[in-house]
Amino acid sequence: MSTEHNSLLLSRLNSDFPEQELWELLDEIKEIGDPIFLYPLYSLYQSKKNKGIAFKIVDIIGKIKSPSKEQIIKDILREVEPGTFEFDSILNIIIQEKYFDAKTFDILQSAIPILIKEKKMSFRDIKMGKILTCFNEAKLLPQISDYLQSVYEDSSFGSSTREYALENWIGISSDNRILSLIENYSKIKEEEALEKAFVRISMKFPERQKRKIQDKIFSEGSVIAKDTLLECRNKQMVQNIVALKDTINNDAICGLIGIYIFGRNNNIEKQFQTISSEEELMSKCSFLRISIQDFNPLLKNYGISKEEIQKIFPDIPPTDLKKSINSLEIYSFSKGLDIKDEVRELRKINNLVGLLSAHTNLLDDKIEMLKNFKLFNIYEEHAWGELHYQLLKLYYHNLKKLKNKIS
């Protein structure tokens, strides 16, 4: 844009335009983004603050690239009320530009009790979340520890805000605070949203801490809390499986095998939800078996004659040579990679999942395999959700062993 055109826009910006035309003018200025507009916009803000258009002016100031912008933003922050829309715009700019200095945090900290008290404030949850994000990114959460506790205990905040506050409150002194929450679990149980938040947060902590929380939930938690925990565990395990399969594929392409191993279907994601009946377990196992057997069809091109294969792999029937798991073992062998132990275990897992995926007359076989994997007690107790999770866990640990061989 020409200097003359920008000058024309500035002359209009200084006049008392009708608001609709001013919005259109601001859109054009935002698109241009010239630093020449910075101080005139700040001057306009002074005349329009606490009005509907003020947040738009602040937003445009935030988009302009200028070393002078930081001081203007801090000046606005000192003046703005937490209940206004422009306060939310200011928070966005502070986070984006990382204007993290002591005075800024003093002002943000003073806004927290106002947000806690004013329960009907516009965008209250969003503003609180952004303030907590600022303190988190600046590693200053211990400074507002008491406020974090007030937020997670306040049922008038949304569930995501409370969960974020609770997670960060625990993180300040995790061992002591987890122990405190476990000891006072009866109080957490009084409110469903808080108990569910506690369950979800438990998935993010190290295994030792996670076990303490989950043992408490399984022994004393509500039905909803236990179901939430099972679903969270399933989701985390499935995400681990997906990530591990991607890693193995990358290692295989770059290593001896030379091609990716696993197929691209997303059936494994059907394992997220927890279950409560044998029929649901059968359905989950049907899809899990598809995922277990989902290998790259190019693995069948192993370039070894049937006769030679029969000598090397006498236990594989000729009719089963092209089955996916067998193809993986044969192809890997052809590339100088011995994964027979991992494949043997994978076949057993696949067979067990297959037996659990349908009504079968092979009850003795099913029981024997469950006992071999130390899962029969869970099966006998009809703990279908736990059995489903343990099957996913078996598959994940088998994949870890496979990765160690391929990497």
Judge if 212 and 272 occupy the same domain.
Answer: no
The residue range of the domain holding 207 is 3-222
Judge if 255 and 141 occupy the same domain.
Answer: no
Judge if 208 and 242 occupy the same domain.
Answer: no
Q: What is the pLDDT of residue 362?
A: 67
Structure tokens of 336? 């100088």
> Which helix (H) or strand (E) covers residue 353, if one does?
helix 340-356
- pLDDT tens across 209-235, in order? 888 888 899 899 999 999 889 889 999
Domain count, the chain: 2
Q: What is the pLDDT of residue 96?
A: 95
End-of-domain residue from the set 222, 250, 278? 222
pLDDT > 60? residue 1: no
Percent of the chain with pLDDT over 90: 65
Judge if 20 and 85 occupy the same domain.
Answer: yes
Judge if 210 and 244 occupy the same domain.
Answer: no
Rounded to 10 degrees, what is the CA torsion of 394, 391, 268, 356?
140
pLDDT > 90? residue 108: yes
End-of-domain residue from the set 168, 197, 222? 222
Helix/strand/coil for 184: coil
End-of-domain residue from the set 197, 222, 247? 222
Judge if 124 and 254 occupy the same domain.
Answer: no
- pLDDT tens across 86-95, in order? 999 999 999 9
Q: Where would I find the H helices in 52-84?
A: 54-63, 69-79
pLDDT > 80? residue 79: yes
Query: CA–CA separation, 405 vs 338, rounded Å?
Result: 8
- CA 33 to chain CA mean position, Å: 35
Q: What is the pLDDT of residue 15?
A: 60
